[in-house]
Amino acid sequence: NIDPELLLPKLPSPDELKPFPTTCAVVFRGHEGRVRSVSVDPQGTFLASGGDDGHVRIWELLTGRQVWNVRLSDEDAVDTVRWRPGKDASVLAAAAGEHIYLIVPFSILSPDIEQSSRDILDAGWGYAASKPSATTNGAPAKEPPARWSRPSTRLESKGVLVQTTVRSTVKVVHWHRRGEYFATVSPRGQSSAVAIHTLSKHLTQLPFRRLKGLAQSAQFHPSKPVFFVATKNSIRSYDLSRQELVKILQPGAKWISSFDVHPGGDNLIVGTYDKRLLWHDLDLSTKPYKTLRYHKEAIRAVRFHQGGLPLFADASDDGSLQIFHGKVVGDLMENATIVPLKVLRGHQVKSRLGVMDMDWHPREPWCVSAGADGTCRLWS
Amino acid sequence: WTGSELKLEMEAEEVVDLIKALFAESDYRRKAIGAIRRATLRRYALSSLVNSLLHTKKPIPFEFLINGQFLRTSIDEFLTQNGISAESTLNVEYTRALIPPLHVASFEHDDWVSAVDVLSQTSPAGVWSGEHGIQSGQEQILTASYDGLLRVWNLSGDAIAISTPPYNSGRITSLKTAKWLSNKKIVAAGLDNVVRVYKYDEDTRAITQSLELYNHRWGVEDVAVHGPTNRILSASTDATISLFSATAKDSPAAPSTLLPTSTTASNKRQKLSKPEKSVPTRGALTTLSGHTAPASNVIFKPEDATVAYSASHDHTLRTWDLPTSTCVDTRTTSHSLLSLTALPKLNLLATGTSARHITLIDPRASATQIAVMTLRGHLNAVVSLDTNPNSEYGLVSASHDGTCRIWDVRSVKPNAGAMVDGGQVGESVYVVEREGMGGKSKASGDGVKVFGVRWDADVGIVSTGEDKRVQINRGVGERGGG
Ligand SMILES: [Mg+2]
């Protein structure tokens, strides 16, 4: 008579898995209405946020001091803000409506970093004019996938230097690790839902003309030329160099809200509006290796720590974030160790919306969250 | 038995014999002897005993140290908690008790106050300014604010001088740090990356910029100054430490790529806001590189200005030899380090962490332990530290939890268990809340964060914060407290 419990691998206790975030260290106040997106800059010094008030704001991460802001739109919410990777330049991408704005917040930058950031954004001006698209060869000119233009003088004076306009509202921006490409997702954009933009050429391409299902999110593989696209029910990975489909993951979800690829590239987490968090091992199966059901409401964001700590987290409309230990082992035959560590509570639920987005600090076991209650929070 | 130190290296019965020899029979003697025999003496009873033994006119509150730790319980409980047998010999010392630092005054600002420094007869800059530098009762308080302005206050709460914001081509001007270099010179820096030297004229109530020092690519979090050599150290988010001279003629040219006039866009903005009189610009004498994340704090080694210590978000505390610009020692801890001060008589450095505690580190090469002691009690990041000017064992900390805490490293928590980095665990002696916030200190620091603190022997504990105030606390009946 063997107790079946004894056959299960023993999970380490949370106390043995420190450090991880446990308490709210800073509340960021200033947005009017929901905060929809947060992003910590590559240095780990500043927090960028965007929300229903149409503003992008930048804050000192450790004090909660607002150091910069701009109103991008009177009508549209800022749905997403994402810092460009890399420390030699400081560029923030923000999307409001069908516009993606590229921002150099010069008032918090040294002149040399301002200059290198401007150079990166300025390189592409005139490229489209000098090299007309091959598809217009002889045929009547098609509407381009995106228009790259200079924003208004008001925005330019704040450091908003490039405006890229696509065909419908952008909900997701994801940078390639080298900062030369970024992908955007416009769920209602049909054939133009997923776009890949080349910064140095001010060029926009639409790699997926016939996407099956409503696009939800998209992401570059952390090291290989592979691109992931999530629709409502599945996640497809494509080999960008061969331009072919590699794999279709079936999380078994009713509606995927977000996903994130592990920095090692072989594992992936998925959050769903039907309250589930799923872990996929890309080597194992197209079905999830683990399904975690801890939240009472929809999960809106999932994110791996990118700085070498075995942590991941999700953000939910129940007003909480859940922190997990997620250790990936090199051995192909061994599965990842997943341990729930901590529920972070503090955000108020407003009109059934709780935590809209989250991000990790680039080095430390700290995370930030965007609340429907109008605050951002740093957890450490 | 000496006037300042009472060492009782004897058994209880020997103390009883001594008391019998020294004091005539009385109710008081009977009670004291009874308490000693029952080992139920607490601090207060011991304090009364020592006061009567010393024949003090006015009772002085005393603290008692047994084998180097504060007595917080009865002697009996102390012995039990520390596993000391009742037969062993105790080393008992008494010391004047820290007095609760009560609120004396608060001076209101227009914006968050990030840092404070004090000019008094006993402050470093006061001492460097010589005997005519500053008169007793004429102490001055310097504050740096997120509104970009420096203010000098007298103790009546008048802002006797306010600086003008710098011309920096439309960049943020928020200040993070300011120090008196002498009674006539101020050094300040902040989020625009520039370290600025100011002339301060008390008669004309003017703070005038005299030098701009460029070397940093990201904001400056802290500066340290050394009057006799006219040197400035700065710690920056760009992960470097710079060594500057406060005098233009001793300094090299500023790196051109860091000047506001260096780029087209920046230059255009600078022309739109041209200053009436230009300020000389210079560069650093040396750059100290090695930290891999923002440097938060830097200090000169007390009594040896050729050595510097720096604390960084990269979890390390580094020792620098300034003449050769080399890092001679690196101590790696488990957390981001956000503040730093020295306890020179104990050969210790105290560093405040993002993980809500203070770590005491022996920076000497011979030290093998990472941490000698950990001071626990704050509920949020510890962002500023200063040393008790009246006690080599004391320090004050400022935290984002909305409090300052007073510590004595001899106040040890019994049975606290080992820390990650090793060493004993200490607990605070007093907690100073923000005045006027109704005791609303909170873990999240929402609205109450304290950013800076200085402890001056003449003025007291001076702290600044998100409440837009500089606050002075002092032990009642004593200047400076403690
Ligand atoms: Mg595997």
pLDDT number for residue B363: 92
What are phi and psi for residue B14, nearest 5 degrees? -70, -40
Tokens of B137: 């009762």
Nearest to A111 among B218, B260, B466 (CB): B260
Give the model's pLDDT for residue A372: 98
Pick from A153, A299, A296, A282: nearest CA to A216: A299
Please compute the mean of the pLDDT values over residues A273-293 and round it to a whole number: 94
Q: What is the arithmetic mean of pLDDT over A318-336?
A: 88
- Looking at residue B434, the DSSP 8-state letter turns out to be P
Residues in chain A with CB shorter than 8 Å from the CB of B294 are: 43-45
Task: Name every residue whose Cβ is closer than 8 Å to that of residue B232 and which is 6 or more positions away in sequence.
Answer: B181, B187, B195, B197, B213, B223, B224, B225, B226, B242, B243, B244, B245, B246
- Cα–Cα distance between B167 and B169 in angstroms, integer? 6
What is the 3 state secondary structure string of chain A?
Answer: CCCHHHHCCCCCCHHHHCCCCCCEEEEECCCCCCEEEEEECCCCCEEEEEECCCEEEEEECCCCCEEEEEECCCCCCEEEEEECCCCCCCCEEEEECCEEEEECCHHHCCHHHHHHHHHHHHCCCCHHHHCCCHHHCCCCCCCCCCEEECCCHHHHCCCEEEEEECCCCCCEEEECCCCCEEEEECCCCHHHCEEEEEHHHCEEECCCCCCCCCEEEEEECCCCCEEEEEECCCEEEEECCCCEEEEEECCCCCCEEEEEECCCCCEEEEEECCCCEEEEECCCCCCCCEEECCCCCCEEEEEECCCCCCEEEEEECCCEEEEEEEECCCCCCCCCEEEEEEEEECCCCECCECEEEEEECCCCCCEEEEECCCCEEEEC
Q: How far apart are CA A361 and CA B424, in angstroms?
A: 30
Pairing relationship of beta strands A277-281 and B101-108 according to DSSP bridges? unpaired
Q: Is B376 helix (H, G, I), strand (E, B) or coil?
A: strand
pLDDT digits (tens, 9 = 90+) for A174-184: 999 999 999 99
pLDDT of residue A139: 55
Q: What is the pLDDT along chain B (482 residues), one digit of tens a residue?
A: 333 344 444 566 767 777 777 677 777 778 777 777 776 667 776 777 777 666 667 777 777 787 777 877 777 777 788 788 767 777 777 777 777 899 999 999 999 999 999 999 999 999 999 888 899 889 999 999 999 999 999 999 999 999 999 888 889 999 999 999 999 999 999 999 999 999 999 999 999 999 999 999 999 999 999 999 999 999 999 999 999 999 999 999 999 999 988 888 877 887 776 666 789 999 999 999 999 999 999 999 999 999 999 999 999 999 999 999 999 999 999 999 999 999 999 999 999 999 999 999 999 878 777 788 999 999 999 999 999 999 999 999 999 999 999 999 988 876 555 555 567 888 898 999 999 877 666 788 899 999 999 999 999 999 999 999 999 999 865 544 33
Q: Nearest C-alpha of chain B: how many angstroms from A177? A: 20
Bond into A19 cis (ω within 30): yes
Among A22, A45, A68, A110, most B C-beta atoms within 10 A, so best to mutate, is: A110
Q: Say yes or no for a CB contact (<8 Å) between A43 and B172.
A: no
ipTM of the complex: 0.93
**How many CB pairs below 8 A link A and B?**
103
Stretch A18-40: mean pLDDT: 97
Tell me how far the alpha carbon of residue A320 lies from the centroid of ligand 1, in angstroms: 29
Please report the sign of the dihedral spanned by the C-alpha atoms of residue B135, residue B138, residue B144, residue B147.
negative
CB atoms within 10 A of CB B58: 6
Query: Cβ contacts (< 8 Å) between A111 and chain B: which residues?
Result: 169, 257-260, 262-263, 266
Burial class for A283, CB neighbours closer than 10 Å (0-12, 13-18, 19+): exposed
Q: Is B230 touching A (CB cutoff 8 A)?
A: no
Token reading at A94: 């923000």
Q: Which residues of A touch B336 (CB under 8 A)?
A: 364
Tell me which amino acid residue B144 is: A
Q: Is B263 close to A111, i.e. CB distance below 8 A?
A: yes
pLDDT of residue B7: 42
Of B259, B334, B445, the CB nearest to A111: B259
Q: Please tell me which residue, A133 or A169, carries the higher pLDDT value.
A: A169
- CB A28 within 8 Å of CB A47: yes
Report strand pairing: B373-376 vs B424-427: parallel
* Residue ranges with CB less than 5 Å from ion ligand 1: A 281, 283
Residues in a beta bridge with B94: B64
Residue A201 near chain B (CB below 8 Å): no
CB atoms within 10 A of CB B22: 10
Q: Give buried/exposed letters for A235-247 (b at 16+ CB in 10 A, else e).
A: bbbbebeeeeeee
Name the minimum distance, in Å, from the CA of A380 to any CA of chain B.
Answer: 8
Spatial separation of the C-alpha atoms in residues A18 and A341, rounded to whole Å: 9
Q: What would the two tokens of residue B469 be?
A: 């105030």
Long-range contacts of A225-233 (CB under 8 A, 24+ apart): A226/A265, A227/A183, A227/A196, A228/A259, A228/A261, A228/A268, A229/A194, A230/A256, A230/A258, A230/A259, A230/A270, A231/A256, A232/A256
Q: Which two tokens stand for residue B163?
A: 């600086």
| Half-sphere exposure in the Cβ direction for B137 (13 Å, CA) | 0
Higher pLDDT among residues A233 and B92, named by residue: A233
Q: If you average pLDDT over every residue of chain A, what do you get? A: 93
State how far residue A180 is from chain B, nearest Cα, in angstroms: 23
State the pLDDT at residue B8: 46
Give the whole-angstrom CA distance, residue A121 versus residue A93: 11
- Out of B170, B381, B383, name the one closest to residue A107 (CB): B170
Residue A267 Cα to ligand 1 middle (Å):
7
Cα–Cα distance measured from residue A80 to residue A220, given in angstroms and rounded to the nearest whole number:
17
**Residue B146 to residue A111, Cβ atoms within 8 A:** no
B193 and A110 within 8 Å at the Cβ level: the answer is yes
Q: What are phi and psi of B288, to 5 degrees?
A: -100, 110
| CB-based contact, A68 to chain B, within 8 Å | yes
Nearest to B393 by CA among B381, B375, B411: B411
Nearest to B171 among A44, A64, A107 (CB): A107
Question: Cβ B217–A64 below 8 Å, yes or no?
Answer: no
Task: State whether A24 and B443 contact (CB < 8 Å).
Answer: yes
Read off φ and ψ for residue A83, nearest 5 degrees.
Answer: -70, 140
| Partner A contacted by B208 (CB < 8 A) | no
Contacts of range B424-429, beta carbons closer than 8 Å, 24 or more positions apart: B424/B372, B424/B373, B424/B374, B425/B373, B425/B374, B425/B375, B425/B376, B426/B373, B426/B374, B426/B375, B426/B376, B427/B375, B427/B376, B427/B377, B428/B375, B428/B377, B429/B98
CA B7/CA B421 separation, integer angstroms:
33
Give which of B389, B314, B388, B392 is closest to B353, Cα–Cα. Answer: B314
Token reading at A8: 């299960």
Q: Of A226-230, A362-366, B268-272, which gets the smallest average pLDDT?
A: B268-272
Residue A136 has pLDDT above 60, yes or no: no
Task: Give the pairing of strands A35-40 and A46-51.
Answer: antiparallel
